[in-house]
Every structure is written in C-alpha cells, then in structure tokens.
Amino acid sequence: HNGYWGLAEFDTPSFATLVAMNLAIEQDVHLRRVAVVNPGSGRLACMLRSRHNARVDLCGRDFLALSASASNLAQNGSAQAEAGKLAVAWPDELEEQAYDMVAEYLDVTPRVDTCALVWAHALRCLKPGGLYLAVASSADMERFEKYKPKGCSLVRSKRKKGWAAQLWRLEG
C-alpha cells in the first residue's frame, strides 16, 4: 500500500480503517462486487479485493483519493479479479442493485443532515441480501443509525477509540 501526500493514512491505517477492516474480515461471505464510497488511500478497498477476489468500484468527490485508491488496487491486483473500472463522484452514479457490499466512510457535514440520503443511495446500490458497511465517529454513527430504514438488520458492530463501524444486511 502506497501512501499519498495530502491524504490521511500516509504510513499507518487510521482507527476508522482498522475497525472497518476488522469488521469486514469477520464476515464469512463471498463478495463478487463491492463499492467503496470515500475510499481515502484505498486500504479498505485493497483488503476487500484481496480477501474476496472481488471487483471493487470506487466512489467519492476527492479526486486524489480516487486516484490513490485506483493505483493501490492496480498494484494489489490478482489474475482473477478485475481492477474495478468504475470511479464516480456521486453515489447515484453507481449501478442499481449491482453490489454485494457497499462500504462507506460517512462524509459528515456540520449542520447538514444527509443521513436519509446516504441510506437511500446505499439501498439502491445493494443486491437483495447485500451488506452495507458504514464507518464514522461514534457520535456521528449514533445519529446515522436513527435513520436506518426498514428492511435492514444489524449484523455486527465494532468500536475503537472514538470510531465505529457497523454492518447491516439488506433483507429481501
């Protein structure tokens, strides 16, 4: 994994990434296609790709983060997995009901409530039975959880040093 000047996690993973990776590792599922929203330098995306041999698509508004993640994914490629051709700015540009998992570092903007919209985008992208992994500060995760729509059940959650990751399954 290469670090990039201007992005977090230059030389070590953040607690947010560690808690998300630990939660994802505990799941004994086969993932064929994954979307990672706001991927940072791509540590979580690379782990999901290498662990599940999945195609990984990237989504986010930070061009440097998308470039770094794509570069790290290409560097960690395998013969069986596609590099993930899709890198888009907005979640509504991701394919509908195409993903076994959507992993998202929540982008929280002060005084702007986007929780319902984030849930709507995630549910639109997931296949029935798909997994949604969200990562945020513990305080932001509590607020985000209150907007959870019907049809999603909590599979597992983890917390570490002020960060929380939660995994939900889309019933259906």
For the ranges 9-13, 56-60, 143-147, 168-172, which has the lowest average pLDDT?
Answer: 9-13
| 45-82 pLDDT tens trace | 999 998 888 999 999 999 999 999 999 998 877 544 45
Q: What is the mean pLDDT of residues 131-148?
A: 95
Dump the DSSP string for 4-72: -TTSS-SSS--HHHHHHHHHHHT-----SEEEEES-TTSHHHHHHHHHH--EEEEE-S-HHHHHHHHHH
> Distance (Å, rounded) from C-alpha 53 to C-alpha 123?
23
Query: Please, which pLDDT band fits residue 5 given cuts at 50, 70 and 90?
Result: confident
Provide the mean pLDDT of the chain.
90
Q: What is the mean pLDDT of residues 90-112?
A: 91
> Distance (Å, rounded) from C-alpha 124 to C-alpha 39?
19
Predicted TM-score of the model (pTM): 0.91
- Cβ neighbours around 73 below 10 Å, total: 26
**Secondary structure of residue 84 in the 3-state scheme:** coil
| 103-127 pLDDT tens trace | 999 998 888 889 999 999 999 999 9
